[in-house]
Structure 1
């Protein structure tokens, strides 16, 4: 990983700390303004989904490569159901939940690898 910025395991008790570290790392990489806020929100959605639906160990890594900032969030959970991956709209307008992947896909470039052995969410954004 060229330009490694962050690498750690996390759990429910460290979600706030992880969000702060992502913010600081993204700022150090050169993100600012709305792009920074959007990227941090997208990563936060992936982290909270890993805590909510995945199983330990859960990890996050961030790095720079070829003008891009990348965050990769992993867990060893049961995988994301196909219907959640195929959804193009949020589940309900006012309900809770069901927006994480939809939001991530709109705030950053999203790649999902998922299956019975766990999930990897890779989010990236161009650096200024």
Structure 2
């Protein structure tokens, strides 16, 4: 698989533009429908967590091949880690905590 970097951008509060920058290369790989929407939603949650918990200090990098896409969100403060993707769902009455579960 020959990967190409589609781009790398800082996380900003312009989430609509960032979602579009993730959507376009993912769609070019053939990802569509619910899987594409789920990828963009998971990215948006990760970016929102960077804005809220890491003071906006983070970046997104998108890599793709003809058939695969990787979206890497980096929290420059180190608060969002790969281990967070296995977080159990929060109770239904919880005010927050669904973002990390959703990303998983």
Q: TM-score range with shorter-chain normalisation?
A: 0.7 to 0.9
2:96 partner SS: coil
Give the TM-score taking structure 1 as reference length: 0.66
Report the counterpart of residue 114 of structure 1 in structure 2.
none
**CA RMSD after TM alignment:** 2.5
User: Aligned pairs, how many?
Assistant: 101
1:18 partner SS: helix
Alignment gaps of 5+ in structure 1: 106-128
**Larger strand proportion of the pair:** 1
Alignment gaps of 5+ in structure 2: none
What is the alpha-carbon distance in structure 1 between the residues aligned to residue 71 and residue 63 of structure 2?
A: 7
Distance 1:5 1:78, change over 3 A: closer
Give the TM-score taking structure 2 as reference length: 0.79
What is the alpha-carbon distance in structure 2 between the residues aligned to residue 25 and residue 88 of structure 1?
A: 30
1:57: how far off?
A: 3.3
1:28: how far off?
A: 1.6
